[in-house]
Structure 1
Amino acid sequence: MKLAIALGQRQLGLTWPNPAVGAVLVQHRDDGPVIVAVGATQAGGRPHAERVALAVAGEQARGGTLYVSLEPCSHHGKSPPCADAIIEAGVARVVSAIEDPDERVAGRGHDLLRQAGIAVDVGCMAREALRAHRGHITRVTRGRPAVTVKLARTTEGFAGVSQGPRLMITGEAANGRVHLMRLHADGILVGIETILRDDPLLTVRLPGLAARSPVRIVFDSTLRLPQDARVVAGAREHPTWVLTAPDAPFHAERALVDAGVDVFRLPGNGAGQISLPHALAFLGERGLTRLFCEGGPTLADALARHDLVDELVLVTGGSGRGRGDIPALGPALQDRMDELALVGEEQLGSDLFMFWEKP
């Protein structure tokens, strides 16, 4: 099951709107158990992990045990149910980490297998599977993607300076680690102020992995996004979505659309800004399951105010020591910290990563 979960996690960022599932098919022989096939949900969400593993195994699937990180689907979508494929392959036992909370499945996949005489065990490494499938679970139960907020801060707790050039806080190794987190997200989220201040690319710049760059999403209520911004210049190469308010200027929208940017007008919050709950619900409807927010303290605090932060990555770097005047943690996010649990730490050179999440 550990292998099945890991196989699925490798595909995070590629499979939306479907969950990134892993599957391992085992035959129990006289000399012990043998892995005969593995599978993971493929790019675009199909084929599903179970079908990949069964196709590799062929006749070796008959009488075997299938370990899968999420309950096999039982509904007809763009492909037939995986539960049917498992039954047809003659699998004798299915070990499933967790039940799928999607109302189209929700235990029916397990029921179909049991009705066919297949032994079903549920709950192996359930906690790890729940974390691995947080995006899918959040989308089908709360109608929005799971949100991971990343904030870099100095040892004094500052994220930047209000005047002057951008504060460089972390080193090369830490920046590479952030790019690795980007490729496991469906979308990278920033606000317009981050674009105007830093002009970021918001892509994955690791060797050989540029194609894994997520959708770039910019919250821009008044369409101030400049035509010469790097996210606009690369919009035809990397999908770029701008979410704006209903009364944003139409001439600015036309110019962005002509450059290859997708512009979406969403309900406002009454103060001339986009409603964050509506925005995340819209992104969930579009199929996104995992958002990686790199929009800085202002956007992070706004998300926290609406209880929209599921994971928090705090990176404390030594490069900006003694500088800065913008606190990394705003008041709303500080108030939410009691709801988050510290689940891990990583030291990369002089930079410390701390990973927090809702239980």
Structure 2
Amino acid sequence: MQYTQQDKANALETSLTHLASCMGYTPKRVGSCYTLAEMDSIRIYNDRTWYRWSNTGTRIGGTQIDFVLEFGNANSVPEAVHQLLNWQGISPEYRANKNTEYTSDRKEFKLPNRAESYRIAYAYLIKTRGLSKEIVDYFVKNKIMYEDKDFHNLVFVGRDASGKIRYATKHGTRDAYGQKYKGDVAGNDKNYGVNIVNKDSDVLKVFEASIDCMSYMDITGDYTSNKLVLGMVEDNPLRTFLKENPNIRNIDFCLDNDLAAKQHLNGKPEIRDDSGKLKREKVVGYLEKYTQQGYTVRDTCAPVVDGGGVKDYNEYLQYLKKVDLSAIAAVRKENQYHRKSR
């Protein structure tokens, strides 16, 4: 995916407050700049640049391109540029000179049309991602995932307590061809994530991505606990889920085993200079935050494998299937024991 310097210049003309609104956030004016109701540590300046005062996440600020890379799930600068141009409604043949007007209204939340057959989705998840047909069937039959008609992306949805779809995210099915794509459906509510609710269970498993959730379920055989996919670096969906499901008593964070996830779980200490002046306030991690709220909290991030190369539950699933299929049966047996003992 390539872009011209004019493409980049056009992308950097995107209204940052409009972009945030389209992605499901709520810009609020604070003095001469804006913040986001869902992340009050964010500041948007001149509608073109942003900064995160909490110093969390993988980026602390930058341009619209950095915003899409951090919050829009773009995997590269070219992909971010193209997403911004698409948000503006600038088609490839007119990208050099088309002008676009912006409105401050949040974009209408409209789900992509469903495909008549989910053949591509099944092939991608089973052949490329190593998932079993059983787990794909579960997500399809329970209407958690479907294949979109136009682009054959996977569409994962999240519902509120009444069953209404409030959140949806798309994942491309052409990874094997080097064409990675991930992005939320415009206009969705960032206070929700992809979720599986079981009122009879007091356990909640929290994931970063839907395919990692599917992989965890495939490895462990756990179809009984509640599941939540954040789909973002902040914990807004978790706060909403706990509010709507007061039966939850135990929270297991099944995140990636990388630095970003560890910082979110463990937080960061305060930093002072030699004179004792505070340079950075303490950032409370999820483990401490939700323990203080009375929950029993565990770090159950994706296991670290000798030799590396495994950072999330999907990579761990593929590792187990490659090394020893019987290992999955052993993991399932151990997981059943722990579920009975909790």
TM range (shorter): under 0.3
More strand by proportion, 1 or 2? Answer: 1
TM-score computed with the length of structure 2 as normaliser: 0.27
Which one has more relative contact order, counting CA pairs under 8 Å at least 6 apart? 1
Task: Indicate the structure (1 or 2) with the bigger Cα radius of gyration.
Answer: 1
Normalization by structure 1: what TM-score? 0.26
